[in-house]
């Protein structure tokens, strides 16, 4: 299966347009004030933002009413929940015709049984590195842990992904690997992405997808 690409933590209008021109499958916008990638309450999505790119709003333990207001204002196709949100909240949001990405922070002791309550109420899982911050820690975890994943829900792989480490994916065969979520590994500074690094990564993914379609 062709791996999808999600570029998260977009913040600046010109940079959003530059990255959108590369046609990633998803672009993420963070609506969590403590994050250095917080878009701000006055954020305006460029009027020429491509309709074919999925719009993902990222939230951390925020009220349902706040999340719903952003879904409506920005036409979000996906909501990414990066905190301790409950399956009940996921199910409630999903009824609003938005897809749910639920994030779990991975460490060497991660218990995949924690995912069970979310089966049937989320569309995609996202596995990130457990760190001091909810996301954007810039560190990869030991991907071999994901050999223990045995659910039918697809997942994004995240956590410090860049050109130096994604080449290691070619030798791994994960059930459910749906796409890559890139953020800090392709940044000039928080919120500002290096379009050339993203382009290089996209070319690499295209080559990998063509050469090894059954591996990832």
- List CB contacts of 81: < 8 A, sequence separation 6 or more: 59, 60, 89, 90, 100, 101, 102, 103
**What pLDDT shows up at residue 205?**
84
Query: What is the 3-state secondary structure of the chain?
Result: CCCEEEECCCCCHHHHHHHHCCCCCEEEEECCCCCCCECCCCCCCCCCCCCCCEEEEEECCCCHHHHHHHHHHHCCCEEEECCCCCHHHHHHHHCCCCEEEEEEEECCCCCHHHHHHHCCCCCEEEEEECCCCCCCCCCCCCHHHHHHCCCCCCEEECCCCCCCCHHHHHHCCCCCEEEEEECHHHEEECCEECHHHHHHHHHHHHHHHHHCCCCC
**Per-residue pLDDT at 206:** 83
pLDDT of the residue at 102: 98
Return the CATH number of the domain spanning residue range 4-211: 3.20.20.70
- The structural domains of the chain, with segments of one domain joined by +, span 4-211
pLDDT of residue 214: 34
pTM (2 d.p.): 0.91
What confidence score (pLDDT) does residue 169 get?
73
Is residue 128 within 8 Å of 105, Cβ to Cβ?
yes
Instruction: Give pLDDT tens digits along the chain (216 positions).
Output: 588 999 999 999 999 999 999 999 999 999 999 999 999 999 999 999 999 999 999 999 999 999 999 999 999 999 999 999 999 999 999 999 999 999 999 988 889 999 999 999 999 999 998 655 554 445 678 888 888 899 999 999 998 898 888 877 766 667 899 999 999 999 999 999 999 999 999 998 887 666 443 332
pLDDT at 165: 84
């Amino acid at each position: 299966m062709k791996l999808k690409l999600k570029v998260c933590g977009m913040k600046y209008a010109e940079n959003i347009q530059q990255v959108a021109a590369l046609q990633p499958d998803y672009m993420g916008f963070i609506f969590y004030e403590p994050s250095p990638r917080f878009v701000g309450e006055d954020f305006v999505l460029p009027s020429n933002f491509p309709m074919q790119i999925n719009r993902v709003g990222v939230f951390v333990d925020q009220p349902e009413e706040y999340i719903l207001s952003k879904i409506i204002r920005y036409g979000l196709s996906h909501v990414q929940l990066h905190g301790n949100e409950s399956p009940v909240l996921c199910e409630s949001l999903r009824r609003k015709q938005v897809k749910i990405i639920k994030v779990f922070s991975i460490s060497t002791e991660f218990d995949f049984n924690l995912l069970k309550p979310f089966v049937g109420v989320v569309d995609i899982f996202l596995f990130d590195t457990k760190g001091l911050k909810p996301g954007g820690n810039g560190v990869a975890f030991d991907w071999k842990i994901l050999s223990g994943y045995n659910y039918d829900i697809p997942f994004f792989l995240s956590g410090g992904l860049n050109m130096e480490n994604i080449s290691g994916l070619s030798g791994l065969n994960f059930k459910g690997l749906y796409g890559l979520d890139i953020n800090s590994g392709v940044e000039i500074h928080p919120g500002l992405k290096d379009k050339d690094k993203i382009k290089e990564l996209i070319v690499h993914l295209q080559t990998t997808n063509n050469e090894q379609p059954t591996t990832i």
